[in-house]
Structures are given as C-alpha cells and as structure tokens.
Structure 1
Amino acid sequence: MSAALSVGRRELGQTWPNPAVGAVVVRETPEGPLVLGRGWTSRGGRPHAEPQALAAAGEAARGATLYVTLEPCSHHGQTPPCVDAVRAAGITRVVAAIEDPDFRVAGRGFSILREAGIAVTIGPGAAEARLAHAGHIRRVTEGRPHIMLKMAVSADGKVGLAGRRPVAITGAVARARVHLLRATHDAVLTGIGTVLADDPLLTCRLPGMEDRSPVRVVLDAGLRLPATSALARSIAVAPLWVFAAEDAPVERETMLVALGAEVMRVRRKADGALALDEIVKLLALRGITRLMVEAGPRIAAGFLQAGLVDEAQIFEAPIRLGPDALDALEGLPLSALATYLSAQESEWQGEDRLRIMRRR
C-alpha cells in the first residue's frame, strides 16, 4: 500500500476533477511480494490507476492481488468502471485503503468485487490515503475543495513591512517548497492587493516542473487587475480565473477575457468583501479539489474566520520585522490558527521552520 500511495502522488494536483489514485499489482512468492505492475491516475483524470496497473501486469495479474488507494469506481463515466477491469484481469484479492465517499460508488465497488468472488480488504494505509485524497473527499461530501493556507511569517508573526510593503521573509529552501506545493495543488488563490503590491506569477518554477503550474485564482471585486501584470501576461503558461463583484465594470471584464482570463461574478457581503462560500463552491463545480491560498492578511483571516481552512503550512523565519510591520492575520493574532487547527508536523526548511496544522 505504501508503494501504491507513493505512485499515486506522482500526479497530485494534475488529475482534477478526479482523485490522484495509485495502484500496484502484486503476487506473493516464496521470496516475498513481487510487483507485477504499477499505475496512477493520469493528468486530466484518466486513464484511471487500476486499468493502467493491470495493463502493466498483463496476464501475470491473474490470481494476483491489487493494492489501490481508493475504492475502485463502479459507475460509467468517460471510461468504463474500474471494477470491470479488475474482474476481467482475474485478480483474486483487492486491498483498498479507503472507501470512496462519492455517492456513485460509496461501497458499491466493493460489493461488485465480492459478488464476483474477489476477496476485499479495506483499511491498510487509510490515514495516509485520507490525506492524499482530501480534495476528492471534501469536494464530494461538502461541495468545495480541500483548502490549504500557506503563510510565510517572521519570528514576530509579521508578513510584510509597514504600509503593506512586501519583503522577502524565508530562504531559498522554503521558497522551493512553496513551488512544490503549487505543483501539487489544482489551483492557487490570491487577492488583488497582493497582485498590485507584489506582481506575482504564482507558477511552479522548479526545474523540469514548469508544466505543473496550477490554475491562478484572483479575488478582484472591482476588476483592477492590470493587463500588464505578470498574471495577465502568463495566461499561456497557466490559466487565470478572476472572481469579481456583480457590479464590477463590464469593460474591465471584456479586457481580461480578451487576454484569455475567465471572469466569474459573485455577490459582495455587507462589508464589501466577496462571498468566499460562493467562490469555493464555484471552484468545486469547475472541478477544483485542492486549493492553495497564498494571499495577504485580509484574505487569510477571511478564510480562517469562515471556517474554510482545512490545513495550514506556516513557514517561520528567524528574522524579526518589528512592531510596525504587517500582522499575518488581519484583526487576529497568529495564535488564532490554533482555534481552528491543531499542530500535526514540524520540520526544517533550511533556516526556516515549517509547521503543518490541520483541521481538528
């Protein structure tokens, strides 16, 4: 199962709207388990992992065991059900990490396999599989993506200089990790304030991984995004989706659409901010399962207070920016994260410490 989870992660962030599943066909021998074939969900969500692993194993799959990170699908979509491929291959046992909560499957795949005389074991690697498939699970059960908040903070809990001026906080190792996070998420979201202050690209720029850049999402109520911005000039590299208020200027939308961006309009709340609950539901309807929020203090606090943060990855640098610098969460102390999330992991990224927190 560890091998199946490992190969499944190869295309994490690239398979939406489908989950990034991993599968391994194994035969037990006197010398130990022999791997006959490996498969993973391809970019764009198909082919699925199971038929690819079975095809790699060929006739050797007959009488073997299939390890898979998620229950094999049992419904007809753009491809035939994976349970049909499992039965046709002559597999005698399926070991799955977790059941698929999608109402079209939800235990039906396991039932079909058992009715065909195939032994089914559920549970090995379940905790890790739930993390790997968190986006799929959240989308089919709650109608929104799994949302990860990324923050880079100084030792005194600041994210920028006074006057909202940007400043480099973390080192090269931590910045490379952020690029990897972008590559493993379907979309990355920021606000127009960050765009105007920093002019970010929000792409993955790790060598050899440039084609894994996520959809870039900008919250821009008034459609102030400049045509000359790095985001607008790089639409050929990665898609750009802009969320605007219902009353935003039509001519600004026309300009952005002409450049290749997509503009979606949502309601404003009483405080003038865009309705985050509508935004995340629209993203899920568009197929986004894993959303990375890489934004300023106002949007970060907004997602947190709306109960829309499932995970936070906080890069803590040893530098201090001083009492007049910009707080990490607008209107909230950084310690407010612990109200919503609990600490799970901690590791060093060069001289910076990465803390990973997840929903309680």
Structure 2
Amino acid sequence: MTDESDNNSSSPPNELPSEFSFPRHAKYFEMMSGCLPSMLEEYDSIRMSILFFSLSGMDLLNTLDRCQGKDKIIDWIYSTMLTDSKALKTGFRGFNIGSEFSPTGCLEYCLFDTGHLAMTYTAIASLLILGDDLSRIDRECIAKTIGNLQTAEGSFLSCLEGGECDMRYIYCACCVCYILNDWRFVDKKRITDFIRQSVSFDFGIGQGPCLEGHGGSTFCGLASLALMGELDQCIGGKVKERIKKWCVFRQVTGFHGRPNKRVDTCYSFWIGGALKLLDANNLTSQHDLIEYLFSTENSITGGFSKWPDHSTDPLHSYMAISGLSLLGYPGVKPVDVRLNISSSAVERLKVLHLHWLNIV
C-alpha cells in the first residue's frame, strides 16, 4: 500500500499543503440546500437526503450560519412528515408531494401513503443539525413504526408498502431509535444475529447473509452495533481483527468499497468510519487519503466528485468532508462516526435526552 515513510504517523494532515477552499465548499452546500441543478433533477424524490448532505456539510465546515431561512427549512422538513398512528406508518418522505396539511403542519394519512426509513433518519438528523427540539415529532409512534418494519430475520423494510431490506435500513433504524432514545419496539438480538450472519467469508460485512462484503454495509453493520452498545460483544477476537484487515486492504490511494473496484471518494467515510469504530484508523496512510480527496475537489465551484475529473454531487461532497473530519483535518469539525453528524449536534441530542427523561 505505502512504505513506512508514507505512514500517517510521519505525515499528519496539518502538514499537507492544500488549496482546500472552505468558502467555495460552503457555498456549494448552501446552493444544494436550495434549488437543485438540472443535472440532479432525477433525485428530487430523495431531496431530504440531499438536504441532509448539504446541512451536515455546512455544519462540519462550521458555516451553518450561512444557511438562509432555517425556520422555513425546519417547517419544510415537518411538512413531509406523515402521521398515522393506526396503521403505524409515521415517518418522513423524501419530498413534499403537495398534499393538504393538517393544523399541525403534518400531512394526513391517505391510502398507500407511507414514510421511508432512510428519509426518516435524514429528516430527524437534519432537524438536530438545525437545532430543532423535535417537539413536533410523535416519538413513540415513530418508534412503533420502526418496530413494525423489522423482519423476522432481523433486518428492516424501507417502508411498509414494500421495498428494499438490507444493512442500510438496519443502520437507519438504529440511528432513529438512538436519536429518539426508544428501543422498546425493536428486537436487538435479531439485529445482532443478522449482522453476525452477514460477515462474509473474507470478513467484510455484506448487505445480508451470504452476500459479498461491501464497504458501505460494513460501516452500517458496525455502526448499528455501536449504537446498540453491542459492538464488542458481537464482533470480537479474531473476527474483529480480520474485519480490520479487510478494511485496511481497501486502501489503494483513497479507499474502494470492494476488492478489485475503483477508488471512490465516498469510502473515505464508509471505510474510514468503519476503521474508526474499530480503533484502527491509524493503520492507513492519511497522506494518501487526503491527496486522493483533493484530486476529486472542484476548486472553482466547490464540491467533490466520485472520481477525479468527474462532476461533483452532494453525496460525495459530504462524504469527502466527513472523511476529512475523521482524519482530523484542520478547520473541519469533529464528526460523530456512529450517527454521521457533527459531535456538536450530538451534544445537543444529549441535552434533549435528559429533557425527555425529566418529563417522564
């Protein structure tokens, strides 16, 4: 991978020369939090995720004060919330479909209408980033809905009307339960068993049992265990060491997500985050990682791309910033690797947890 002289211990991030442009990247995220460019119009149905990447990117760059109309953004997020306690479909959509609003600002139930687990995670995380107190959320009803999405195998459906069911949604479910501080309606043992069974023959974690190990699902599995407080109990000993090795071997210059695949900017967080959770991020070359990230940076418009000389997009831009945060890059705020939001947002969450406990 690299020789000893290139190891991160001799090349800390703050000694790397850089053209890193905080204002341009902040402006890029600010733009993406509002009107999407035409090249991204096909992603309008997951606008909630794009909003999350944009807000969290500005937060990590410590430029969230540039975000205009925070109250309006908070109201828009709540406008995508579906409240249905009877059918246990409470959650958030990825966009506003223009339905009639109830007096509380929440969309009323209609047939075949349902929230989406990934959008629920990114919506609640975005509210936290913006400093909202989550008071307009029916926390118990969302927690019950999460429990209703869990399958017999231990994974979670993306929505009750059907859809994907894999490690990504275990992670989203665990994030929501952790944020809401309510695990009553999910079976943790089934989750841990599913994750344990998803460790592949080469010790990456797949999207499910008997599937190929993948950088994204490896992070999701490990982070889910960490959020439940089960990481050391579920993944320990030789298995933990072999997962570390699998992650370390994903570095070429930057990281790739699977053997024999191209290096990709987003794995600076997926693999970098997995190594952080395993206390092993010192085993890779930070110098090479940062050089690769800079090679995907657009220093004119801001943002990062998947590969060098390609178009930027919000996901890869945010994952690049998160990756730099994990590396301790100067000027980038610390990220809480488990929830993939800033440590400062998590500190606000701790205050909310104490407040909720006092109410109970």
Q: Same fold (TM over 0.5)?
A: no
Going by fraction, where is strand more abundant, 1 or 2? 1
Structure showing greater Rg: 1
Structure with more of its chain in helix, by fraction: 2
